[in-house]
């Protein structure tokens, strides 16, 4: 009996830190987190005519990296600490950059509501990766059924609709959203399977933002996107929101919650983000909601819930 209890405690922890079940405070914080992320794609899309989505991601990452660096220094994190986790730090930085390159690229073609849904296929990909790579994380038969339901919903949601203009472009953007979800899942796996699982949240976030800014700023400059920026009030407001709320506050909150609570329970709440994203896209951008997308999106979210419940 004692051995069973010890094994249970070990499986409920990552790198030695025990995780807890969600309480009311964590649940409320997750709702706020999902609201912010649900608005993220809409914030990018709203000012895309004045500043390209890729330039938005590059600038917000670079600006937020400077703020996170100052916060990390204040918390006593020094260069030696950064070098200690540099290997996995580079990997999560590359994964984070890839995720938002796909998001920015895809938003040139698809709707913000579609991007919100396909980006959140990440929990299924992460669950599959954990099943293959982490002992004790194997999926049950019920969870495999959830994977099948989510996949079927994804196919249905991505089915081109003849009553929407540029259906081919929308499908291309949806595929890029799917790749963004894969990149996010890969980043999560690196964090959970490396020394970063016990690193301070601000340190993990610095790796992601710094490498994304360093990689994307030269690319946007090469494409001429930086020279085409129109510094309107809406652009300033959107970049401020993305830098301070998304890249700084929301992601720091996410990493802090991952260190304290069960990831599977947090994942259930994260499914609110695409729901909010679809609503924001319809209300603020006037994006159409087709029957197949609504039906497929519901099936996808239910499948995700079954996998991570």
Q: What is the pLDDT of residues 70-123, one digit of tens each?
A: 999 998 998 888 888 999 999 999 999 999 899 989 998 988 888 888 887 787
pTM assigned to the model = 0.77
- Residue that wins the pLDDT comparison between 243 and 301: 243
Q: Residue 268: its pLDDT value, please?
A: 63
At 160, is the pLDDT very low, low, confident or very high (cuts 50, 70, 90)? Answer: low
Average confidence (pLDDT) over 192-219: 89
pLDDT score at 37: 86
By residue count, the chain amounts to 309
Is the predicted pLDDT of residue 224 greater than 60, yes or no?
Answer: yes
Tell me the C-alpha distance between 84 and 204, whole Å: 12
More confident residue, 55 or 192: 55
pLDDT (0 to 100) of residue 180 = 93
- Asked if residue 162 has pLDDT above 60, the reply is no
From residue 69, alpha-carbon distances to 43, 202, 205, 206, 209 in Å are 25, 8, 9, 7, 10
**Ordered DSSP codes for 225-285:** TGGG----HHHHHHHHIIIIIIIIIIHHHHHHHHHHB-HHHHHHHHTHHHHHHHHHHHHHH
Overall average pLDDT of the 224-228 stretch: 90
- What pLDDT score was predicted for residue 8? 37
Residue 166 has a CB neighbour count (10 Å cut-off) of: 12
Mean pLDDT of 51-55: 93
Q: Tens of pLDDT along 231-290?
A: 999 999 999 999 999 999 998 888 788 778 876 667 666 667 777 888 888 888 888 777
Residue 53 pLDDT level (bands cut at 50, 70, 90): very high
Write the DSSP symbol of residue 19.
P
Give the list of residues 6+ apart from residue 211 with CB closer than 8 angstroms, or none. Answer: 89, 90, 93, 94, 96, 97
For residue 20, give the 3-state DSSP assignment.
strand
Query: 153 and 298 in contact (C-beta within 8 Å)?
Result: yes
Instruction: Please give the C-alpha separations between residue 130 and each of 126, 187, 192, 264, 307, in angstroms, as whole numbers.
Output: 6, 12, 9, 12, 12
Close Cβ partners of 235 (under 8 Å, ≥ 6 residues apart): 47, 50, 51, 229
Unique residue bearing structure tokens 């914030």: 43
């Amino acid at each position: 009996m004692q051995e069973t209890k010890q094994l249970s405690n070990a499986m409920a922890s990552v790198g030695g830190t025990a995780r807890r079940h969600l309480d009311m405070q964590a649940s409320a914080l997750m709702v706020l987190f999902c609201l912010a992320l649900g608005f993220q794609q809409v914030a990018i899309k709203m000012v895309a005519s004045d500043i390209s989505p890729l330039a938005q991601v590059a600038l917000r990452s670079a600006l937020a990296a400077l703020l996170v660096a100052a916060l990390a220094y204040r918390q006593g994190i020094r260069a030696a600490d950064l070098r200690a986790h540099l290997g996995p730090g580079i990997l999560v930085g590359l994964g984070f950059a890839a995720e938002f390159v796909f998001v920015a690229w895809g938003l040139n073609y698809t709707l913000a509501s579609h991007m919100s849904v396909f980006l959140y296929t990440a929990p299924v990909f992460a669950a599959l990766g954990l099943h293959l790579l982490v002992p004790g994380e194997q999926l049950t038969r019920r969870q495999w059924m959830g994977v099948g339901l989510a996949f079927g919903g994804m196919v249905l949601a991505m089915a081109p609709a003849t009553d929407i203009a540029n259906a081919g472009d929308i499908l291309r953007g949806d595929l890029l959203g799917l790749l963004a979800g894969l990149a996010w899942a890969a980043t999560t796996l690196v964090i959970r399977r490396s020394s970063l699982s016990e690193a301070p949240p601000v340190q993990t976030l610095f790796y992601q933002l710094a490498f994304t800014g360093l990689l994307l700023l030269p690319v946007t400059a090469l494409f001429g996107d930086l020279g085409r920026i129109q510094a309107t009030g809406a652009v300033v407001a959107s970049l401020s929101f993305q830098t301070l709320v998304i890249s700084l506050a929301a992601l720091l909150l996410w990493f802090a919650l991952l260190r304290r609570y069960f990831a599977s329970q947090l994942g259930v709440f994260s499914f609110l983000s695409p729901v909010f994203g679809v609503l924001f896209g319809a209300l603020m951008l006037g994006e159409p909601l087709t029957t197949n997308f609504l039906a497929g999106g519901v099936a996808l979210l239910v499948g995700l819930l079954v996998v991570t419940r």
